[in-house]
Amino acid sequence: MFHRKKTVADAAKWPVDEYRPAVKRSICTGEAVFGFIRRSDNSFTDICLVKDEDIPKLLAQYGHERSDLVEIY
Domain boundary assignment for the chain: 11-72
Q: Is the pLDDT of residue 33 over 90?
A: yes
pLDDT at position 11, please? Answer: 67
pLDDT at position 63, please? Answer: 87
Largest Cα span, the chain = 40
pLDDT at position 8, please? Answer: 54
- Residue 11 makes CB contacts below 8 A (sequence gap 6+) with 61, 62, 63
- Per-residue pLDDT of 2-23, as tens digits, reads 555 555 556 677 888 899 999 9
Say how many CA atoms lie within 13 Å of 22 toward its Cβ: 18
Q: Is the pTM of this model over 0.85?
A: no
The region that residue 42 occupies, defined by phi over 0 for left and psi between -120 and 50 for alpha, beta otherwise, is left
